[in-house]
Amino acid sequence: MEWVDQRTLKTSKRLNELDKLLLRFVRILEKYFEYVVTSGYVAILFGRARATEDIDILVKDVDEEKFEEFWKEVTKHFWCLNAENPDVALKLLREDSIRFAMKGEIIPNIELKACRNVVDFLRISERIKIVFKNNQYIFIPPLEMQIVYKEEVLKS
């Protein structure tokens, strides 16, 4: 991996199933919401040798209108594992989380959460861009914040 500028990292890693799922999902998500991919996937992105069955994404500014449009588009390709309609899904997203997987699959899945506190908003406003070999990209929180969040908020 190499830094292109202060907020952009480029990687030529080979894409695994998680990367491919994520890239498909965020191409839809980014049309509607700012986001960062967090938690275990970030450790995997930087080389950790472990598997995971879900990818956590944090989104901000979830309003009803945008969410309905997002729901229409995302459900053409993915299905929501824990909500059947956009009203329930939005309520769940605001209170807890919603999960999406490719149609007919359960894993891997994407767990979407909405920002709830200052730290969450900061993780998005200070986000950094990861550019893959095929020029597709995702956003993650600054690594320092990722570590502090794990240690101080999650106590892990």
Please report, as ranges, the residues that interact with other proteins according to CB under 8 A. Answer: 1, 11-18, 44, 46-53, 81-83, 91-92, 95-96, 98-99, 105-108
Angle between helices 64-74 and 86-95 (to 10 degrees): 120
Closest among 102, 40, 107 to 74, alpha carbons compared: 102
106 or 147: whose CB is closer to other proteins?
Answer: 106
51 or 125: whose CB is closer to other proteins?
Answer: 51
17 or 151: whose CB is closer to other proteins?
Answer: 17
31 or 91: whose CB is closer to other proteins?
Answer: 91
85 or 125: whose CB is closer to other proteins?
Answer: 85
CB of 21 to other proteins, least distance (A): 9
CB of 37 to other proteins, least distance (A): 15
Amino acid at 27: R
CB of 110 to other proteins, least distance (A): 12
CB of 112 to other proteins, least distance (A): 12
Q: Is 44 helix (H, G, I), strand (E, B) or coil?
A: helix
Q: How far apart are CA 145 and CA 149, in angstroms?
A: 6
What are the two backbone dihedrals, phi and then psi, of residue 123, each rounded to the nearest 5 degrees? -60, -30
CB of 75 to other proteins, least distance (A): 16
SS3 of 54-122: the string is: EEEEEECCCCHHHHHHHHHHHCCCEEECCCCCHHHHHHHHHHCCEEEEECCCCCCEEEEEECCCHHHHH
Rg (CA), the chain: 15
